[in-house]
Amino acid sequence: MRRLFGQARERERRDELLSAYLDGELSAGELVRLEAQLVNDPALQAELDALRQTVALVRDLPQIPSPRNFILPQATPSRPRSAPLARPRRAWAAPLLTAATAVVSLLFVALLSLDLLLPRMAGNLAFAPEPQMAAETPQEMPVEQEAPAEMPPAAPDEAEVGADRAPEEEKAISPVMGGGGLTATPTPLATTLAAAERSGEGADHWDSVSEEPAEVAPPPVEEESPEPPESEVIGAAQPASRRPLEIVLGLIALTLALATVWAWRARRRC
Amino acid sequence: MARLIQAGIETLPPGQRVTLALSDVQGMSYQEIAEATDISLGTVKSRLARARAKLRDYLREQGELLPARYRLG
């Protein structure tokens, strides 16, 4: 046991000498003695070579730069003096941009919502009174008959649909509100067709359905015909005029959002 | 290979690791290391010798992972 401990101690002493020899830290006497041993002992020379190679490998390791805050002494200020001035400037920019982004985004959403909701509301308001008018005042029907070119493209189809059932269902359809455009639009044309048939075949059959056949066709009221229905104006023209504003607001909101993200990141980096 | 040497250095006790790094990586003399770490010159010498010997033995054990020209005898 004592022998093993002595061998380990001897080996340790030998490694210490070899290590110091590599670094040139041996005294003159130690240096002479070691070089003499190296000449006579190939195993010791091999140990020296292995140790030299180990040191060379460690010295050839790639150098990794230390973080700045790791190598700076505590007394050194961590930043140049101009840096604290830059931080407050970014500090208020980020919240301000956030608020601006929120405001513009809300405006954008509100405008979009208006565009989506207004046409529906306007459509309900515009279609609601029309059937009543058709039922109550048949005098106005020829007006729309005279201006078929100004009607929207879908109107003739709807008129035909209405015309097929109009003679029989005229009175029944008019008060019904659930049909919307289909119940409102076809009524005048259907009545006109009915009037045309009446003039050709005889009014006896139609008198049982409509109470005032003679007054339907003749009186053309031209003042109301050129104006398109108010629902078309509200539903189509206004959203189109707001579309550029929506696009601009959307772009501004997007730009502000990007700038906000950048500002918060810059603030965290400081 | 650098990873292998780095792993070998990490097996050393902290005192030996610091001494090895200051000497073989930073290139400091024994006297500078003694002043920087506040230990005696003899302790620097012995710590450095032990660190190098342990690393040499580690690299010998892992010799198959090293390229032929870096393998220790």
Closest partner residue to B25 (CB to CB) among A12, A18, A61 is A61
Q: What distance in Å separates residue A255's CA from the closest CA in chain B?
A: 46
The per-residue pLDDT of chain A, averaged, comes to 67
Q: Is the pLDDT of residue A31 over 70?
A: yes
Look at residue B2 in the predicted model and tell me its pLDDT.
80
pLDDT tens figures, A214-265: 444 455 544 544 444 444 444 445 566 778 888 888 899 999 999 999 888 8
> Which of A59, A82, A106 is the endpoint of a domain?
A59
Query: Is A155 found in the same domain as A108?
Result: yes
Lowest average pLDDT, out of A23-32, A47-56, A146-155, B22-31, goes to: A146-155
Task: Note whether A162 and A190 are within 8 A (CB).
Answer: yes
Domains in chain B: ranges and CATH: 2-65 (1.10.10.10)
Segment A37-60 mean pLDDT: 90
Residue A205 lies in a domain: yes
Residue A15 lies in a domain: yes
Helix axis angle for B41-61 and B30-37, nearest 10°, is 100
Closest partner residue to A25 (CB to CB) among B5, B45, B70 is B45
Q: Is the pLDDT of residue A32 over 90?
A: yes
| Closest alpha carbon within chain A to B43 | A16
Query: Is A95 found in the same domain as A49?
Result: no
| Closest alpha carbon within chain B to A64 | B25
Number of domains within chain A: 2
Query: Is A230 found in the same domain as A125?
Result: yes
DSSP string, A163-195: HHHHHHHHHHHTT--TTTHHHHSHHHHHHHHHH
Residue A66 lies in a domain: no
pLDDT tens figures, A171-203: 444 444 444 444 444 444 445 445 545 554 444
SS (H, E, C) A124-153: HHHHCHHHHHHHHCHHHHHHHHHCCCCCCC
Query: Is A233 found in the same domain as A135?
Result: yes
Look at residue A165 in the predicted model and tell me its pLDDT.
47
Lowest average pLDDT, out of A65-79, A156-170, B19-33, B56-70, goes to: A156-170
Look at residue A118 in the predicted model and tell me its pLDDT.
78
Q: Is the pLDDT of residue B59 over 50?
A: yes
Query: Is A137 found in the same domain as A246?
Result: yes
Q: What distance in Å separates residue A26's CA from the closest CA in chain B?
A: 10
Structure tokens at A258: 């990007």
Query: Is A122 found in the same domain as A54?
Result: no
Residue A125 lies in a domain: yes
Query: Is A29 found in the same domain as A127?
Result: no
Task: Note whether B23 and A23 are within 8 A (CB).
Answer: yes
Query: How many residues comprise chain B?
Result: 73
Closest partner residue to B5 (CB to CB) among A49, A57, A63 is A57
- In one-letter notation, the amino acid at residue A260 is T
- Of the segments A28-37, A115-124, A197-206, which one has the largest average pLDDT value? A28-37
Q: Provide the residue range defining the domain that includes A43.
A: 2-59
- Tell me which chain A residues have a C-beta less than 8 angstroms from the C-beta of B29: 23
Query: Is A128 found in the same domain as A43?
Result: no
Nearest to B3 by CA among B73, B61, B59: B59
Residue A262 lies in a domain: no
For tokens 């097996």, name the residue: B11
Interface of B with A (CB under 8 A): 1-2, 5-6, 9, 20, 23-25, 29-30, 45-46, 48-50, 52-53, 55-56, 59-60, 70, 72-73
Query: Is A197 found in the same domain as A109?
Result: yes
Residue A175 lies in a domain: yes
Lowest average pLDDT, out of A8-22, A90-104, A144-158, goes to: A144-158
pLDDT tens figures, B18-30: 999 999 988 899 9
Look at residue B67 in the predicted model and tell me its pLDDT.
63
A15 contacts B52? CB cut-off 8 A: yes
- The answer to whether A55 faces chain B, any CB pair under 8 Å, is yes
Segment A58-66 mean pLDDT: 80
Closest partner residue to A55 (CB to CB) among B9, B24, B30 is B24
B49 contacts A15? CB cut-off 8 A: yes
Q: Is the pLDDT of residue B4 over 80?
A: yes
Query: Is A23 found in the same domain as A154?
Result: no
- The ipTM is 0.85
**pLDDT > 70: percent of chain A:** 45
Q: What distance in Å separates residue A17's CA from the closest CA in chain B?
A: 8
B55 contacts A61? CB cut-off 8 A: no
Look at residue A161 in the predicted model and tell me its pLDDT.
45
Residue A67 lies in a domain: no
Q: What distance in Å separates residue A85's CA from the closest CA in chain B?
A: 37
Task: Note whether B4 and B65 are within 8 A (CB).
Answer: yes
Query: Is A191 found in the same domain as A112?
Result: yes
For CA atoms A64, A68, A72, A74, the dihedral sign is: negative
